[in-house]
Amino acid sequence: AFALPAFANWPDNARENFVAECVETTQMEHSSVKAETFCGCAADEVAKDLSTDELEAMGGESVDPAIQERLIAAAQSCTTELE
């Protein structure tokens, strides 16, 4: 039997806000459909990599640089969605 991966729980509306901000930035260079697909993927990957506490911390004024690096690394696995 396989164990299901543990996903962190996004705080209220945080996933939607993350995706919306991501789409707004990404569609400057890509179609809105590709941006939405990429950003949804990125949100899922981020939830796999960060804890619930870390996701909550992202909602603050400034994001810890170490968390920022992990965000970027997690999202990079979705870049094929932009091709």
pLDDT tens per residue across span 19-64:
999 999 999 999 999 999 999 999 999 999 888 888 888 777 777 8
State CA 12 to chain mean position distance.
15
Whole-angstrom Cα distance, residue 29 to residue 13?
Answer: 25
Check pLDDT > 70 for residue 65. yes
Let me know: does 36 contact 44? Beta carbons within 8 Å: no
Q: What is the pLDDT of residue 6?
A: 58
Report which of 38, 2, 23 is spatially closest to residue 46, judged by C-alpha positions: 38
